[in-house]
Amino acid sequence: MELKGSRSIAAPREVVYAAMLDPDVLKACVPGCQEMTGNADDGFEAVVVQKVGPVKATFKGKVAIEDPNPPASLKIVGEGKGGAAGFASGGAVVTLTEEGEGTLLEYDVQAKVGGKLAQLGSRIIDGFAKKMADQFFERFQGVVEGPEEGETDPEVAEVAAEKKGWLKRLARG
Amino acid sequence: MPKDHGIGASNKRREDIRFLTGTGNYTDDINIHGQAYVYFLRSDVAHGKINSIDTAAAAAMPGVVRIFTGADFEGIGGLPCGWQVTDKHGEPMKEPPHPVLAQGKVRHVGDPIAAVVADSLDQARDAAEAIELDIEELPAVVDMKAAVQEGSALVHDDIGTNLCYDWGFVEENKGAVEEAFSKAAHVTTLELRNNRLVANPMEPRVAVGDFNRASGDSTLYTTSQNPHVIRLLMGAFVLGIPEHKLRVVAPDVGGGFGTKIFHYAEEAFCTFAAKQLNRAVKWTSSRSEAFMSDAHGRDHVTKIQLALDADNNFTALRTETYANMGAYLSTFAPSVPTWLHGTLMAGNYKTPLIYVNVKAVFTNTVPVDAYRGAGRPEATFQLERVIDKAARELGVDPVELRRQNFITEFPYATPVAVEYDTGDYHATMDKLVEIADFAGFEARRKDSEAKGKLRGLGVNCYIEACGIAPSNLVGQLGARAGLYESATVRVNATGGVVVMTGSHSHGQGHETSFPQVISEMIGIPEDQVEIVHGDTARSPMGMGTYGSRSLAVGGSAMVRAAEKIINKAKKIAAHLMEASEGDIELKDGAFSVAGTDKSVAWGEVCLAAYVPHNYPLEDIEPGLEETAFYDPSNFTYPSGAYCCEVEVDPETGKVTIESFAATDDFGNIVNPMIVDGQVHGGIGQGIGQALLENCAYDENGQLLSASYMDYAMPRASDVPFYKVDHSCQTPCTHNPLGVKGCGEAGAIGSPPAVVNAVIDALHSGGHKVEHIDMPVSPSRVWAAMNG
């Protein structure tokens, strides 16, 4: 499965890049993420609960950053095991280019699923993955750009508020 | 007037009363006091190296009795293959081991890695989730042609290739076939895929293993078409249990279609574990498990070429097929693309020269084996499709092209090693033309066109070799078993008859049709006859039910045993009536002395046999029980002609079956209603293959169609009311009943008729489409129409 997309984010590349390596940001942005620990150098460990069509499962996975080229690009690879539900694995090449004051984030995802996910969910996996990606980058944008007035997702609002000072410092730095 | 009893009567199926009222006794209905349940942890990758299996945490979970892995089966036999094919160089096929639980590597999605036995199924399943697996995923072998190229990943490293065998048939004819092609006036070529199918019997597989610690006997209750074969294979090759310490029971079985012939790992596991644990162990397959552990069917990729002379006579035929074996050799897998396929390539036609090449390939997919028709549908599909294509290329009527090349003289020895005993292919075609109303087709086509639909008519013929099979012949061809059948006929003191047959009934209606034969022979009512099957402790050694063999082989064994009974009973009757044995006649349940009014009833003779007060004890033993084993001298060769009419919606590509007619020559018929039903079911499965069903894998070997959301089974609305005729009868010459077998015909004869009809419909709309692979789904039809 392949998925490509892009999103304009009103923040400098360095901020966007750093946010992508922050476990708290990732936890807030990955839909269904229950836990996210680790760091960019050693890799992250995540627990994600998701429902794909008829298959609901808790995925335990590892995420690693490959080919880091700050602040222009990085590759995120990961795999998650969902027990009886099967597994998902894949990678995303993320490219950041300056776009005026902000950043154009482009992503190119390649993913595969196995086990029950493939057996029962293969017809809907493309749509599911697109939804996941949309949700992720929407939340990511929210966190990086700071909480909007009336941010509806409390988790995003909280993390965004918490990170605001940090991100601003980084941006000034 | 139709008969109301005996051979030829359409008796209603006695077994349906229990099947339709929920009182059948299926394997899952069997529960043994104190039984434990097993859940199999199965691979979710197609190909991988097992680095470690940590069961410590899982073993401590509530209710867990024991967790088994491949290590527990080291030193124990693997699942055996029952047929060895010799390749075109005279070498035996590659035969890699097939462990009960994976050892070292997993080779397909669904390959069992560990078996968790617990007090309840839920506990077993929960514990399986706690097993820590470290499996390193390896590149999956999925595409057959890529699998045999240099550098491909290997399913079995030890054998160094993914090629199981490269079979040439008849290899000595190859040169002559090439020469005939070089001289041909016309050559038609067709490349096609025979889609992979999943059998999907209504009842999933179940196994219950039991162990009697008092006697040391093991018992396996299983969903099998052939319990004696399972006892032999599992006892002798896997677990080392002699037959007298092992009983296999296959009670009511809810459909098999071939997929319940084979010996499966779960059967061996439950029998093994019950003995190890001193406790019965039960496994019931879920539907999801069935998709990834029941042997699949078909999956051939074929190129076929037909050579014709200037007068449109078939002069030669050659085919090249890649046949998918899956990850391991299932019990009879090697025989399907070879001896059940190559020997059928003559079809109904007097093509003098034929060469068949089959490359059997290992892939990281579920093992593939016999499924209703087994090899014969694949042969028929390619042959009848290429003939239709040839007719179109030559601008001749496809029916006339077939008729011109029909075999008309019998017996007929084909160039592919079989001899047809009887048949009348013009008669079945004549009947088809009549019942399918060919004359009215153009008017029906106009009606369809007026509705904006394209209508097509497709015809095909088929021949099948069934009544499997002469043991000495199949032995030469690589079978590791005899293919006789057995029956014991036990007459009780009060005249009732019990037939213990090695044939197994799982939908075929033996419990109804076999008594009709006994009734015809003795003249007693059918309800005086009971059929016992499916239990190695009750029936003599039998080979079971597949290959449309039950009546032709098992029925013949029953006839032979009943003849022995009648001969002995005549001796007793002669004694009772003080007459000469040669003057005794049996009619309508009574023995009489020819030319006199003396007679004794069947029941009196039976009673005398068990209360031998007035009895020729000096000449014959008391009792009335006889056993016969019957080994056929040839296959039987049912044949027929099928016609399908379809409408294609050019807007959507959707195909609807408007009518389907089948004329079959099954030889003599015992119960016409059951034969109708067998043909109906077969056609339903054939239409399923042609329009709907497809087992799909992705390039990583992930099984994509593993539920009824993605695997499309035919439903009532997908099939028409069938017109079925079996009035054309050329009885088999070599079995005592003159019967040929009807179980697989529908599934063999119907797919090419459907596809031929779709292609005909598209041509009528100006779409020059030569072939669409099955399933002929709306998207494929639409894509073909829109270039």
The answer, for B291 touching chain A at a CB cutoff of 8 Å, is yes
pLDDT confidence tier of residue A169, bands split at 50, 70 and 90: low
Q: Are residues B669 and B747 in the same domain?
A: yes
Asked if residue B3 belongs to a domain, the reply is no
DSSP B640-693: EEEEEEEEE-TTT--EEEEEEEEEEE-BS-S-HHHHHHHHHHHHHHHHIIIII-
CA pair distance B571, B450, nearest whole angstrom: 73
Write down which residue in B284, B307, B330 finishes a domain. Answer: B284
pLDDT of residue A173: 44
Q: Are residues B303 and B331 in the same domain?
A: yes
The answer, for A122 touching chain B at a CB cutoff of 8 Å, is yes
Instruction: Give B750-763 pLDDT, tens digit per residue.
Output: 999 999 999 999 99
Residues A34-57 as b/e (b if ≥16 CB within 10 A, e otherwise) read: eebeeebeeebebbbebebeebeb
Asked if residue B145 belongs to a domain, the reply is no
Q: In this complex, do A84 and B129 lie within 8 Å of one another by their Cβ atoms?
A: yes
Distance of CA B20 to the CA centre of its chain: 24
Looking at the DSSP bridge assignments, the partners of residue B66 are B117
Q: Looking at per-residue confidence, does A131 or B183 come out higher?
A: B183
* Contacts for B209 with CB less than 8 Å, ≥ 6 apart: B218, B219, B220, B267, B269, B270, B271, B272, B273, B274, B275, B280, B281, B282
What's the CATH code, domain A2-168? Answer: 3.30.530.20
Distance of CA B638 to the CA centre of its chain: 15
A146: left (phi over 0), alpha (psi -120 to 50) or beta: left
Which CATH number is B61's domain given? Answer: 3.90.1170.50
Interface size, chain A vs chain B, as Cβ–Cβ contacts under 8 Å: 51
Q: Are residues B321 and B266 in the same domain?
A: no
* Contacts for B326 with CB less than 8 Å, ≥ 6 apart: B108, B295, B296, B333, B362, B363, B365, B366, B367, B368
Query: How near does any CA of chain A get to the CA of B698, in Å?
Result: 9
Instruction: Give A58-113 pLDDT, tens digit per residue.
Output: 889 898 999 999 899 999 898 888 888 888 888 889 999 999 889 999 999 888 88
Query: Considering CB atoms only, which of B44, B128, B291 is closest to A87?
Result: B44
Q: Are residues B454 and B498 in the same domain?
A: no
Residue A5: DSSP 8-state: E
**Is residue A122 predicted with pLDDT exceeding 80?**
no
CA pair distance B408, B422, nearest whole angstrom: 9
Q: Where are the domains of chain A?
A: 2-168
Helix and strand counts by DSSP (H, E) for chain B: 19, 28
The answer, for A116 touching chain B at a CB cutoff of 8 Å, is yes
Nearest CA in chain B to A125: B704
Q: In this complex, do B704 and A84 lie within 8 Å of one another by their Cβ atoms?
A: no
Asked if residue B93 belongs to a domain, the reply is no
Q: Are residues B641 and B758 in the same domain?
A: yes
pLDDT of residue A119: 85
CA pair distance B742, B604, nearest whole angstrom: 38
Asked if residue B188 belongs to a domain, the reply is no
Asked if residue B453 belongs to a domain, the reply is yes
Write down which residue in B231, B252, B284 finishes a domain. Answer: B284
Q: Are residues B652 and B667 in the same domain?
A: yes
Nearest CA in chain A to B695: A119
Q: Scan residues 37-76 of A and list those with Cβ closer than 8 Å to B.
A: none
Contact B689, B775 (CB under 8 A): yes
Q: Are residues B552 and B602 in the same domain?
A: yes
Asked if residue B164 belongs to a domain, the reply is no
* Contacts for B575 with CB less than 8 Å, ≥ 6 apart: B608, B614, B615, B616
Pick from A52, A112, A116, A119 the residue to mutate for testing the B interface (most B CBs within 10 Å). A119
Distance of CA B762 to the CA centre of its chain: 33
First to last CA, chain B: 56
pTM recorded for the entire structure: 0.94
B126: left (phi over 0), alpha (psi -120 to 50) or beta: alpha
Q: Are residues B119 and B211 in the same domain?
A: yes
Domain total of chain B = 3
Query: Considering CB atoms only, which of B45, B129, B704 is closest to A119?
Result: B704
Contact B740, B667 (CB under 8 A): yes
The answer, for A1 touching chain B at a CB cutoff of 8 Å, is no
Mean pLDDT of residues grouped by 10 in chain B (787 residues)? Answer: 90 96 97 98 97 98 98 94 96 97 98 98 96 96 97 97 97 96 98 98 98 97 97 96 97 97 98 98 97 98 98 98 98 97 97 98 98 97 98 98 98 96 98 98 98 98 93 92 95 97 95 98 97 96 94 97 98 97 96 96 98 95 98 97 98 98 98 97 98 96 92 96 97 97 96 98 97 98 94
Asked if residue B714 belongs to a domain, the reply is yes
* Secondary structure class of B306 (helix, strand, coil): strand
Distance of CA B385 to the CA centre of its chain: 23
CA pair distance B393, B386, nearest whole angstrom: 10
Query: How near does any CA of chain A get to the CA of B45, in Å?
Result: 6
- A chain contacts of residue B44, beta-carbon cutoff 8 Å: 86-87, 114-116
CA pair distance B129, A60, nearest whole angstrom: 13
Asked if residue B756 belongs to a domain, the reply is yes
Q: What separation in angstroms does the CA of A145 have from each of A16, A132, B580?
A: 9, 20, 111
Q: In this complex, do A115 and B706 lie within 8 Å of one another by their Cβ atoms?
A: no
Provide the domain limits for residue B459.
296-469+634-785
- With vertex at residue B146, the alpha carbon angle to CA B144 and CA B149, rounded to the nearest 5 degrees, is 115
Q: Looking at per-residue confidence, does B185 or A145 come out higher?
A: B185
Q: Are residues B488 and B544 in the same domain?
A: yes
State ipTM.
0.81
Nearest CA in chain A to B41: A84
Write down which residue in B216, B251, B284 finishes a domain. Answer: B284
Which CATH number is B582's domain given? Answer: 3.30.365.10
Looking at the DSSP bridge assignments, the partners of residue B420 are B412
Q: Are residues B718 and B689 in the same domain?
A: yes
Q: Are residues B512 and B560 in the same domain?
A: yes
Looking at the DSSP bridge assignments, the partners of residue A55 are A52
CA pair distance B628, B630, nearest whole angstrom: 6
Residue B594: DSSP 8-state: T
Residue B158: DSSP 8-state: G
Q: Are residues B566 and B690 in the same domain?
A: no
Q: Which residue has the tokens 């009215």?
A: B440
The answer, for A34 touching chain B at a CB cutoff of 8 Å, is no
